Structure 1
């Protein structure tokens, strides 16, 4: 009987110690959906908004809440090959700035408490390193636990990035000229949707 009590106490202690780190492990996402809207004004002053995307990206979130995302800017897709190339060459200048990197520190306790099917909203401070510029911004995120080892992360509202802040005005001006436009709106709404899988 005494042996059984001691065994139970040891198991309980082990579970208690593990309980604080039940969700330890690296969460990763590959090629999530990243879209952005670009609005252009033609010579007749009509506004046209189009959606484009980046198809190659990878993200990770560790047990301490360190988040990183790497976006391959050469994976931009507008459904027009020539425009894709102009964006790479003139706006993103992928020969010099191949990737955009996003990083932040996430409060993991709220995520770890989620049961399957539950969701939370977070106002998450993030930093983007793009085109040689570092820009702080906040993302309004929804996080849902699909199952024990899978969560869906998405933007509840688009993040607004500014062409001027990213140092891309010259490239965009060149796009305006060759496309015969009046202007391209400098504010760019960006949305994210991805499924993270935990690697134990």
Structure 2
């Protein structure tokens, strides 16, 4: 039960070799995170609502609705929204990045490029800089896929979420919930 992120997140890169604006196709994308409770029980969790875009200046933004957290158990979803994320005051997590377009300008259809992209994650009223190792694959002149090469580790303490984790542990009667959460993603972008 602790989980979050985002975050997330994850990050961006993207071929804007084509000097166009790109819109995230969220229905064909996913954003997942993994949590460990009781030191040995792992759980796959996700967010179902997020939107993003990349403009022709290489500016990337991904907005994640924290109210869309999915754990597979409705009462746990509600507890995470209220006790961990505090969605009344912090309904979204935002990831921003600047993409160096030169890395992908010459990407041919069917080809891919691995990149390391610094990004900023805004979560629970705090901002932290993370790095995402991603692969950008050009599927066509109008679509590209952005995937995490390895999970991004989001630490609860960096966003003052540790108090929320303590509340979740108490209400669920758990001895522990991990505070370092791996986040992975597959994001499909389409030319506007």
Q: TM-score, normalised by structure 1?
A: 0.85
Match of 1:35 among 32, 55, 65: 32
Instruction: State whether residues 86 and 175 of structure 1, in contact with CA within 8 Å, keep that contact through their aligned partners in structure 2.
Output: yes
1:91 aligned partner: 84
Q: Residue 52 of structure 1: CA displacement?
A: 0.5
**Bigger Rg, which one:** 1
Match of 1:185 among 161, 178, 186: 178
User: What whole-Å deviation, never above 9, does each CA across 1:58-102 have from its counterpart, x for those lacking one?
Assistant: 111111110001000000000100000000000000000010000
Structure 1 SS opposite 2:57: coil
Provide the rounded CA distance (Å) in 1 between the counterparts of 2:105 and 2:55.
12
Provide the rounded CA distance (Å) in 1 between the counterparts of 2:105 and 2:86.
40
Where in structure 1 do 4 or more consecutive aligned residues deviate above 3 Å?
none
2:102 aligned partner: 109
Q: Residue 124 of structure 1: CA displacement?
A: 0.3
Instruction: State whether residues 150 and 197 of structure 1, in contact with CA within 8 Å, keep that contact through their aligned partners in structure 2.
Output: yes
Q: Residue 22 of structure 1: CA displacement?
A: 6.5
Moved more, 21-30 or 102-111: 21-30
Instruction: State whether residues 116 and 148 of structure 1, in contact with CA within 8 Å, keep that contact through their aligned partners in structure 2.
Output: yes
- Give the aligned CA root-mean-square deviation in angstroms: 1.2
**What 5-or-longer segments of structure 2 have no aligned partner?**
1-15
User: What whole-Å deviation, never above 9, does each CA across 1:122-147 have from its counterpart, x for those lacking one?
Assistant: 00000000000000000000000001
Bigger helix share: 1
**What 5-or-longer segments of structure 1 have no aligned partner?**
1-20
What is the total number of aligned residue pairs between the two structures?
175
Structure 1 SS opposite 2:104: helix
Match of 2:59 among 66, 78, 89: 66
Q: TM-score, normalised by structure 2?
A: 0.88
- Greater RCO between the two (CA within 8 Å, min separation 6)? 2
Match of 1:147 among 116, 140, 146: 140
Instruction: For 1:125-164, list aligned pairs within 5 A.
Output: 125-164=118-157
Moved more, 102-111 or 115-124: 102-111
Instruction: State whether residues 102 and 128 of structure 1, in contact with CA within 8 Å, keep that contact through their aligned partners in structure 2.
Output: yes
Provide the rounded CA distance (Å) in 1 between the counterparts of 2:159 and 2:182.
14
Provide the rounded CA distance (Å) in 2 between the counterparts of 1:159 and 1:79.
22
